[in-house]
Chains A and B, each alone.
Chain A
Amino acid sequence: MDTSIKILIVDDFATMRRILKNILKQLGFKNLVEADDGTTAWDVLENQEIDLIISDWNMPKMTGLELLKKVRASTKYKTAPFLMVTAEAQKQNVIEAVQAGVSNYVVKPFTAEAISDKLAKILK
Chain B
Amino acid sequence: MINPFINATINVLETMAFMKVSAGKPYVKQDNTAVGDVTGILGLTGVAHGTIAVTFEEKCILTVVSNMLGETMDQLNEDIADAVGELTNMISGQARKELDELGKVFKAAIPSVITGRNHTIRHYVDGPKIAIPFETNGGEFTIEVCFDR
Contact = CB atoms under 8 A, between A and B. Distances in A.
Interface string A64-87: 000000000000000000000011
Interface string A4-38: 00000000111110110010000000000000000
B15 interface: yes
The listed residue with most B CB atoms (<10 A of its CB), out of A14, A88, A90, is A90
B55 interface: no
The listed residue with most A CB atoms (<10 A of its CB), out of B16, B85, B86, is B86
Interface residues of B, number: 24
A44 interface: no
B97 A15 contact: no
Interface in B69-124: 69-70, 79, 82-83, 85-86, 89-90, 92-94, 96-97, 100, 105, 108, 110
A90 B103 CA distance: 11
A115 interface: no
Interface SS of A by simple majority = loop
The listed residue with most B CB atoms (<10 A of its CB), out of A14, A19, A89, is A89
A109 B85 contact: no
Interface string B107-144: 01010000000000000000000000000000000000
Contacts of B85: 13, 15
Given A22-B70, A109-B15, A111-B15, A13 B100 contact: no
Nearest to A88: B93
A87 B69 contact: no
Contacts, number: 61
Contacts of B54: none
A14 B68 CA distance: 12
A19 B69 contact: yes
Contacts of A60: 110
Contacts of A12: 110
B11 interface: yes
A89 B89 CA distance: 12
Interface of A: 12-16, 18-19, 22, 58-60, 86-92, 107-111
26 contacts: A12-B110, A13-B83, A13-B85, A14-B79, A15-B69, A15-B83, A16-B86, A19-B16, A19-B69, A58-B89, A58-B110, A87-B90, A87-B93, A87-B94, A88-B93, A89-B96, A89-B97, A90-B96, A90-B100, A90-B105, A91-B100, A107-B93, A108-B16, A108-B90, A108-B93, A111-B15
Given A89-B97, A90-B96, A111-B15, 11 more contacts: A13-B82, A13-B85, A14-B82, A22-B69, A58-B89, A59-B110, A90-B97, A90-B105, A92-B100, A92-B105, A108-B93
